[in-house]
Amino acid sequence: MKHLILFLFLAACTPTITSVCPPVKHYSPQFSNKLANELEKLPEGNPILEITADYINLRDQLKLCRSK
Ranges of each domain in the chain: 20-67
Q: CA 40, 41, 46: angle at the middle one, nearest 5?
A: 85
- 3-7, 25-29, 48-52, 55-59, range with the lowest pLDDT: 3-7
Per-residue model confidence as pLDDT tens digits over 21-33: 889 999 999 999 9
Instruction: Give percent of the chain above pLDDT 90.
Output: 62
List, in order, residues 6 or more apart from 19 with CB less than 8 Å away.
65
What is the DSSP code string of the chain? -HHHHHHHHHHHTPPPP---PPPPPP--HHHHHHHHHHHHTSPTT-HHHHHHHHHHHHHHHHHHHHH-
Confidence of residue 67 (pLDDT cuts 50, 70, 90): confident
Q: Is the pTM of this model over 0.85?
A: no
pLDDT at 2: 62
Q: Whole-angstrom Cα distance, residue 62 to residue 25? A: 10
